[in-house]
């Protein structure tokens, strides 16, 4: 079922969903199931599965020269989605990126998903590879998520790259995109970022999932500003608790997300990461309760493979 249909059928009730990472290469599907099993009692509407683009490693050869090698440390997104839908009968939502994909790669990826009965995708530009400062699109690939959304919507209309195809079958993908309550790190301003988001919706995005935030007012203000701009699709808050003291500096640096001063003070004075985790869980519980009370369509948790933490939060909220 499409994510938007889940929201429509809920008739105002807030739903629960979460996001998982593919395991590192060499691990098997059991690690995924072990992370999902504890959360199934809360009846998730859907489960997102991230996609991780290639990385570059430099290996020293016997002659002393460095050899550049492409590696994928977390492959398996499509297979994991198929396994989730087969085992749990829950909609799996794969992420699809601009980075690492040509237009033909994108089309073939979507064809595979369509064959597997996967109806939802999250379309993202993705980050630059670690060896580059700025994002660079693939040759014949997309430079931004708006163009990726356009290609997916084109396939929904039966428009394939090979224009000579006759009687081509349209797909029916429901398309999610990312939204940034505190703006994307590369945007000059929140106003500019909202215009980019509006382009994604005008291109055919059906719903928005936000970057993590720790101040609910940032989310509520973001929703209001989106509505003022004519962005009227569902906006799903993305949540992730603090679990280590180092995240006080890492999260603002890497994601350009503010952490409320009350939370900073509590975490800074805690004696160890065990105490930080308890503070982070309680903060996320209170965030979740307020978002639920004020009618958020779905509470979407970034589990990062730690289902025990998410379970404690969801038990207290739903």
Q: What is the pLDDT of residues 120-136, one digit of tens each?
A: 999 999 988 776 778 88
What's the rounded Cα separation, in Å, for the pair 242 and 263? 9
What's the rounded Cα separation, in Å, for the pair 240 and 193? 22
Active site residues: 19
| Contact predicate 118/109, CB 8 Å | no
| Mean pLDDT of the chain, nearest integer | 94
The pLDDT of residue 56 is 60
Q: Is the pLDDT of residue 237 over 80?
A: yes
State mean pLDDT over 131-145. Answer: 88
Angle at 7 between CA 4 and CA 12, to 5 degrees: 150
- pLDDT-derived band at 194, boundaries 50, 70, 90: very high
| Neighbour-count burial for 62-89, b at 16+ CB within 10 Å, e otherwise | eeeeeeeeeeeebbbbbebbbbbbeeee
CB neighbour list of residue 52: distance below 8 Å, 6 or more residues apart: 21, 22, 72, 73, 74, 75, 77
Q: What is the pLDDT of residues 304-313, one digit of tens each?
A: 878 999 999 9
């Amino acid at each position: 079922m499409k994510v938007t249909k889940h929201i429509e059928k809920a008739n105002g009730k807030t739903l629960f969903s979460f996001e998982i990472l593919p395991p590192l290469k060499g691990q098997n599907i059991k690690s995924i199931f072990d992370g999902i099993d504890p959360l199934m009692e809360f009846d998730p509407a859907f489960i997102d599965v991230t996609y991780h683009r290639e990385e570059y490693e430099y290996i020293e050869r016997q002659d002393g020269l460095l050899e550049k090698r492409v590696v994928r440390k977390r492959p398996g997104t499509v297979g994991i989605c198929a396994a989730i839908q087969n085992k749990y009968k829950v909609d799996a939502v794969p992420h699809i990126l601009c980075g690492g994909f040509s237009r033909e790669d994108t089309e073939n990826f979507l064809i595979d998903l369509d064959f597997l009965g996967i109806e939802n995708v999250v379309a993202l530009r993705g980050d630059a590879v670690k060896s580059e400062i700025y994002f660079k699109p693939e040759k014949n690939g997309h430079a931004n998520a708006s163009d990726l959304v356009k290609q997916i919507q084109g396939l929904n209309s039966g428009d394939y790259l090979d224009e000579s195809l006759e009687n081509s079958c349209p797909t029916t993908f429901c398309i999610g995109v990312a939204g940034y309550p505190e703006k994307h790190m590369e945007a000059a301003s929140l106003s500019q970022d909202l215009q980019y988001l509006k382009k994604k919706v005008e291109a055919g995005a059906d719903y928005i999932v936000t970057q993590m935030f720790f101040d609910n007012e940032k989310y509520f203000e973001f929703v209001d500003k989106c509505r003022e701009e004519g962005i009227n699709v569902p906006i799903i808050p993305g949540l992730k608790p603090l679990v280590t003291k180092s995240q006080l500096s890492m999260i603002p640096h890497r994601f350009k997300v503010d952490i409320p001063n009350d939370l900073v003070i509590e975490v800074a004075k805690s004696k160890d990461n065990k105490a930080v985790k308890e503070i982070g869980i309680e903060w996320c519980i209170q965030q979740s309760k307020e978002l639920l009370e004020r009618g958020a369509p779905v509470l979407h948790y970034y589990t990062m493979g730690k289902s025990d933490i998410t379970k404690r939060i969801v038990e207290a909220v739903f």
